[in-house]
Chain A
């Protein structure tokens, strides 16, 4: 079932064409990574899907609705880059997760129970009453994922989810979202730089640099000609393997 459809999308910002003639289709339950060089339009594509940027041409349909209408359903999840968050927010981790339930008609007690369970799922229950702003980047990310979980969206957009998080914690994160998808059928679209890490976890890769250069699985993407066309230079990749023995403790920590 098609959950996101982009047809002939062109986006201009301050007279510069950032995205041109993009056609893309994402099915329910897929994990899709949007990759490409800096300034290639990855975040612009994501923000267009969320309705923050109005396209010059073309159509975007999420859950068969325009972005503006789709957002009103509350079935769209979004996790921005962590540096976008307001630093001095006077909130606990639990408060942040409760935001995900803001439109649900539940009692305070029920909401709290759901939020605490979600924090437990991401291994952050012991930080429920800790200041959100004092948590590390990786911990804040986990709390934000808990916020998305309680919202029960049908599709989630992640913008550079692993910014400021080390490579092993990144892998723990991708493992977690893959498990989440397997359990809930959630569709996940993420902007990412971590080509070396995402390989084992995504179903589809979107290679973006103003135009759509590639759409397919990771094996097809990791071809020299595709990478050179996308990045405009010779690319050397360091692939991080989930089998890495020395990283095992970090994996366990995220699963707690």
Chain B
């Protein structure tokens, strides 16, 4: 154990994983309250198109991934708010489009196989010091943002129309939350990849809500569970040579299903 902890890339993976799990747990509450799980799936898949374009053009893929994810998130948000088109239809079309664009550009890039797998499934053991710094800065920013505007965000999630009539700038909170989720998704791609990133943002609040109903407890329990899942996932995958991202999501999903079973079968008796 101590030997493993002395390895620099493991240390980075643990620090990055813990910070990311806290970040995603904070946002998870809003995803669940707003019923935005599918939006987060749309945004995470849209990131793939951006990453692939960045790689093809030789630009920092995180930057292009961020642009693509933000643009797609805002577009989905705008369509949901202003169009009669059903939300799931617009998300379905947009994320398929982005994935398709991503595949085209990845195929046109040399050494595409390893890049494709890194984007799709992530590799937390390759996380760099710069990634960790970015992650910490962004998590601190989100923490401050939530500290200042938490009640207003919750009011908007509870009933946007009523919040608007009390003078709250609901559009600002709506779109700013989408942009924050998009950035968090791009940052989590390194950890668990495009395909699994949405799971890491949906699971914390969903799991906590099996046992608690109040948002404060959901925030605390969801964050703690995520931290435990990520640390356990990194340790186990290191020793058993599993892909960390896939193992963390599998473990978390299995724990969620176990929780669901305990709640529905054992606690309801």
Q: Is residue B151 contacting chain A, with contact meaning CB distance below 8 A?
A: yes
Q: Contact at B161–A84, with CB atoms within 8 Å?
A: yes
| Tally of chain A residues near chain B (CB < 8 A) | 32
Q: Contact at A102–B155, with CB atoms within 8 Å?
A: yes
A residues less than 8 Å from B151 (CB atoms) = 98-99, 102
- Contact among B29, B33, B155, B165 for A77, CB-based, below 8 A: B165
Could you tell me the distance in whole angstroms from the C-beta of A87 to the nearest C-beta in chain B?
Answer: 9
A residues less than 8 Å from B165 (CB atoms) = 50, 71, 76-78, 157
Partner-contacting stretch, out of B9-17, B192-200, B210-218: B210-218
- Contact among A78, A86, A90, A102 for B218, CB-based, below 8 A: A90
- Contact among A85, A92, A102, A131 for B159, CB-based, below 8 A: A85
A residues less than 8 Å from B154 (CB atoms) = 91, 95, 99
Interface residues of B in 188-224 (CB under 8 A from A): 209, 213-215, 218
Q: Is residue A234 contacting chain B, with contact meaning CB distance below 8 A?
A: no
Are A90 and B214 also in contact (CB < 8 A) when A85-B159, A99-B155 are? yes
A residues less than 8 Å from B161 (CB atoms) = 50, 52, 78, 80, 84
B residues less than 8 Å from A77 (CB atoms) = 165
A residues less than 8 Å from B214 (CB atoms) = 90-92, 131
B residues less than 8 Å from A98 (CB atoms) = 151
Query: Bound complex: CA of A131 vs CA of B209, how far in Å?
Result: 12
Q: Contact at A71–B155, with CB atoms within 8 Å?
A: no
- Contact among A72, A73, A99 for B158, CB-based, below 8 A: A99
Q: Contact at B29–A90, with CB atoms within 8 Å?
A: yes
B residues less than 8 Å from A73 (CB atoms) = 167
Q: Contact at B162–A90, with CB atoms within 8 Å?
A: no
Interface residues of A in 77-110 (CB under 8 A from B): 77-80, 84-86, 88-92, 95-96, 98-100, 102-103
Q: Is residue B164 contacting chain A, with contact meaning CB distance below 8 A?
A: yes
Q: Contact at B215–A90, with CB atoms within 8 Å?
A: yes
Are A99 and B166 also in contact (CB < 8 A) when A88-B209, A90-B33, A90-B213 are? yes
Query: Bound complex: CA of A77 vs CA of B35, how far in Å?
Result: 26
Query: Bound complex: CA of A53 vs CA of B213, how far in Å?
Result: 35
Q: Is residue A151 contacting chain B, with contact meaning CB distance below 8 A?
A: yes
Q: Is residue B168 contacting chain A, with contact meaning CB distance below 8 A?
A: yes
Query: Bound complex: CA of A51 vs CA of B165, how far in Å?
Result: 9
B residues less than 8 Å from A100 (CB atoms) = 166
Q: Contact at B164–A71, with CB atoms within 8 Å?
A: yes
Q: Is residue B183 contacting chain A, with contact meaning CB distance below 8 A?
A: no
Q: Is residue B106 contacting chain A, with contact meaning CB distance below 8 A?
A: no
A residues less than 8 Å from B163 (CB atoms) = 99
Q: Is residue A55 contacting chain B, with contact meaning CB distance below 8 A?
A: no
Q: Contact at A96–B158, with CB atoms within 8 Å?
A: yes
Could you tell me the distance in whole angstroms from the C-beta of B84 to the nearest C-beta in chain A?
Answer: 8
- Contact among B167, B209, B215 for A91, CB-based, below 8 A: B215
Q: Is residue A74 contacting chain B, with contact meaning CB distance below 8 A?
A: yes
Are A102 and B168 also in contact (CB < 8 A) when A88-B33, A90-B29, A91-B154 are? yes
Contact with B along A106-132 (1 / 0, CB 8 A): 000000000000000000000000010
Q: Is residue B32 contacting chain A, with contact meaning CB distance below 8 A?
A: yes
Q: Which has the most chain B C-beta neighbours within 10 Å: A74, A85, A89, A134? A: A89
Query: Bound complex: CA of A78 vs CA of B213, how far in Å?
Result: 26
Could you tell me the distance in whole angstroms from the C-beta of A149 to the nearest C-beta in chain B?
Answer: 13
A residues less than 8 Å from B34 (CB atoms) = 86
Could you tell me the distance in whole angstroms from the C-beta of B75 to the nearest C-beta in chain A?
Answer: 22
Contact with A along B167-179 (1 / 0, CB 8 A): 1100000000000
Query: Bound complex: CA of A96 vs CA of B162, how far in Å?
Result: 11
Could you tell me the distance in whole angstroms from the C-beta of B5 to the nearest C-beta in chain A?
Answer: 37
B residues less than 8 Å from A79 (CB atoms) = 162
Query: Bound complex: CA of A90 vs CA of B215, how far in Å?
Result: 5
> Would you give 16 A-B contacts (Cβ < 8 Å), ordered by A?
A52-B161, A71-B164, A74-B166, A79-B162, A80-B162, A84-B159, A85-B158, A86-B34, A86-B157, A88-B35, A90-B29, A90-B213, A95-B154, A99-B163, A102-B168, A157-B165
5 closest A-B pairs by CB: A90-B215, A78-B165, A74-B167, A99-B155, A131-B213
Residues of A within 8 A of B (CB): 50-52, 71-74, 76-80, 84-86, 88-92, 95-96, 98-100, 102-103, 131, 133-134, 151, 157
